Structure 1
Amino acid sequence: MKAPLFRDPIYDGATDPTIIYNRETKEWWMVYTSRRATAEGPGVAWVHGSDLGVATSADGGRNWVYRGTLPGLDFEWGRNTFWAPEIYWHEGIYHMYVSYIQGIQVEWTGDRRIIHYTSKTLIDWQLEGPLSLSSNRVIDVCVHEIPGGGFRMWYKDEEHGSATYAADSDDLYHWHSARPVLTHRGHEGPNVFRFKGSYWMIIDEWRGQGVYRSDDLDNWDRNGMILEIPGVRKDDEWIGHHADVVVSGDEAYVFYFTHPGRSGMQEGAKEGYEQRRSSVQAARLDVRDGILVCDRNEDFEINLIHE
């Protein structure tokens, strides 16, 4: 498997990837936070002012080509910040929920809102508006259908201990009943998927991905960790951050990002471009004796199939 799977050729800051099949072009799309790793500036300005980058694959996810950034998302003037998109297809419409911050912050400050857009093409997006959730500092959405009908959204609430919260919807437009789900420690980037008879949630604990299992999407049991041990492939020698999972037939693939330049970095050392840059990687998931496992050093061939 190619490693790294993808690097952004403009700012070299591809993070928070989400993978979606474009039914019009018959390609797989990777939409991601395009952090400005090459930009100089105070504090964490380089993490802000980010567009949503797009890479496409016509061969089942093996090779990815940078295509640019999603147009037409701005709804107010200025240079603003888009983070961590989630794109969910339902009945002919793509629903995108993206974290939004007004302007470019130089510290980890400012309100964060989830903005909802819809599209039939993945290119032309219509603003549906901000969501009203559990606070004004929410990011990192994922969406999954609920058994019996309806949808559930999981997200990070920074106002409430950087815990995972959830909200429900009947139509993907109106969300209600926001409540805490995982509060054991601060984390981000929840991602929920169904694989081999169970529901799974992975979360970025900033030390690897914490894993939880559920039979009903209501009750979650700890199931271990993945991507906590650095790999040996090129640019994979760092913990795996904010990930997306695609279940394809009998296989499941996790797409995550690393900061390879931080390997061996001395504590307290000043970060530069090499420490800020990021690479997207992919690995195969499996379930063994009821435990979700991932061998990130495994030699495998990715093959995303649209059913």
Structure 2
Amino acid sequence: MKSPLFRDPIYDGAADPVVIWNMQDKEWWMIYTNRRATQEVPKFGWVHGTDLGVASSSDGGATWLYRGTLEGLETNWGRNTFWAPEIIWHDGLYHMYVTYVHGVPEDWTGKARIRHYTSPDLIRWAFRSTLGISDENVIDACVYRLPNGMFRMWFKQRNHTYAAESKDLHDWQPIGPVITERGHEGPNVFRLKGYYWLILDEWRGQGVYRSDDLETWERNGIILDQPGRREDDGTIGLHADVVVQGDEGYIFYFTHPGRVHGHHEDSNTYEWRRSSIQVAKLEVVGGVLICDRDKEFELNLRAED
């Protein structure tokens, strides 16, 4: 499998990917936070002022073509910040929940909210609302439909995972904390091999939790915590998305290849900022989720209805 899977050719800061089937173009799309790693700006300005980048694949995810950035998301004047999109298809529309920060802060001081947009084609997006699920900063939405037909959203608040619930993907009611162990972000929920899984970016790899009912979660281990041997894969795996097809699961994550001596280095060089998208195969062995990021495999995602 190609490594890295994708690098943004403009800003070289692709992060927080979501991978979804484009029903109109009949190809896979990757939409991601377009961090401005090539830009020399003060402090953390390079992770703000970000658009959502787009890459497409017509060969089942093996290779990706850069397509540009999503337009029409702005509702305020000027340059603002978009992070960590989550996109699902339901009842004839794509629904996107994306973190929004006003302006371009130099530090982690901006007010973060989750916005809801809808689109018929992944290109033309209509703003629906800013979710009122908390008065505090909230980021990194993940949405999964429950067996009873309701929708649940997991998101980061206070460095932990909280949840909200909706009947229609528009009106959301907070239901409180879900995972309150060590600090983390980027929750992602999926079903594979008879279990529900919740993975979290713990800034040391992806923490793993397992559930039978999407209500009670038990710790299951950690993945992507050990460096891989592939090009640009020698650091921890960050903020991930999972695509499941039948009994096969694939995890799309990003790395900071230049941070081989630790995630939080006292540096602001281009090599420290740049990031790469990678993919690896997930397996379930004895009820435990595992990921050998060095294992060879062929990625050939199938078309979806």
**TM-score where L is the length of structure 2:** 0.98
Q: Indicate the residue corresponding to 1:169 in structure 2.
A: 166
Compared with structure 1, are the counterparts of its residues 90 and 42 closer, same or farther at alpha carbon in structure 2 (3 Å cutoff)?
same
2:221 maps to which of 216, 224, 235: 224
Compared with structure 1, are the counterparts of its residues 219 and 266 closer, same or farther at alpha carbon in structure 2 (3 Å cutoff)?
closer
Q: Indicate the residue corresponding to 1:93 in structure 2.
A: 93
Q: Indicate the residue corresponding to 2:294 in structure 1.
A: 297
Q: Distance in 2 between matches of 1:100 and 1:148?
A: 30
* Aligned partner letter, 2:80: N
Contact 1:83 1:100 in 2 (8 A): yes
Q: Indicate the residue corresponding to 2:114 in structure 1.
A: 114
**Deviation per residue, 1:46-88 (Å, 9 max, x gap):** 0000000000000000000000000100000011000000001
CA RMSD after TM alignment: 1.2
Q: Distance in 2 between matches of 1:126 and 1:289?
A: 44
Count of residues paired in the alignment? 304
**Structural mapping, 1:128-277, within 5 Å:** 128-157=128-157, 160=158, 162-264=159-261, 269-277=266-274
Q: Structure 2 stretches of 5 or more lacking a match?
A: none
Contact 1:249 1:305 in 2 (8 A): no
Tell me which stretches of 4 or more aligned residues in structure 1 moved more than 4 Å: 265-269
**Deviation per residue, 1:162-206 (Å, 9 max, x gap):** 110000000000000331000111100000000111100000000
How far does residue 269 in structure 1 lie from its aligned partner after superposition?
A: 4.2
Q: Distance in 1 between matches of 2:146 and 2:286?
A: 26
How far does residue 248 in structure 1 lie from its aligned partner after superposition?
A: 1.4
How far does residue 267 in structure 1 lie from its aligned partner after superposition?
A: 7.6
**Deviation per residue, 1:20-40 (Å, 9 max, x gap):** 100000010000000000111
Q: Distance in 1 between matches of 2:248 and 2:207?
A: 20
Compared with structure 1, are the counterparts of its residues 267 and 200 closer, same or farther at alpha carbon in structure 2 (3 Å cutoff)?
closer
* Aligned partner letter, 1:114: I
Q: Distance in 2 between matches of 1:31 and 1:265?
A: 27
Q: Distance in 2 between matches of 1:259 and 1:65?
A: 21
How far does residue 266 in structure 1 lie from its aligned partner after superposition?
A: 10
Q: Distance in 2 between matches of 1:268 and 1:238?
A: 13
Q: Distance in 2 between matches of 1:210 and 1:106?
A: 29
How far does residue 265 in structure 1 lie from its aligned partner after superposition?
A: 6.5
Q: Distance in 1 between matches of 2:171 and 2:116?
A: 10
How far does residue 134 in structure 1 lie from its aligned partner after superposition?
A: 2.4
For the residue of structure 2 that corresponds to 1:303, the secondary structure is coil
* Identity between Structure 1 and Structure 2 (%): 62
* Aligned partner letter, 2:109: T
